[in-house]
Amino acid sequence: MQLGTRWPVGGVAPATLPEVVTAAVRAVEEELRADGVDASTWRWTLTWLEGKPVVELDDGTVIRYNTASGTATITSNDFEAHAEGAAAE
């Protein structure tokens, strides 16, 4: 069983995340900065579903990891993006 955690926007993501998921977190945070959103009190929540990380931001943005393709999918009310890349080894 893997335990989840929480961390602040702009903080260091857990080392257990695949690199592509960490990259997706950074992409969301950069988008927030570019849009001038004050996310200083927001936090990310990491949970594990069937051994796969699911990361959710306080605004409802969700990042899911696809082990088969080594990709992360970002879903939010504002946009959907697909971050491609190999999983961290």
DSSP 29-67: HHHHHHTT---TT-EEEEEEETTEEEEEETTS-EEEEET
pLDDT of residue 76: 87
User: Across all residues in the chain, what is the average pLDDT?
Assistant: 88
Whether the pLDDT of residue 17 is over 50: the answer is yes
For residue 73, the Cα-to-chain-centroid distance in whole angstroms is: 9
Distance CA 13, CA 22 (A): 7
Domain range list for the chain: 5-83
Q: pTM to 2 decimals?
A: 0.84
Note whether 56 and 62 are within 8 A (CB): yes
Distance CA 62, CA 28 (A): 10
Distance CA 25, CA 23 (A): 5
pLDDT in tens, 55-68: 999 999 999 999 99
Whether the pLDDT of residue 82 is over 50: the answer is no
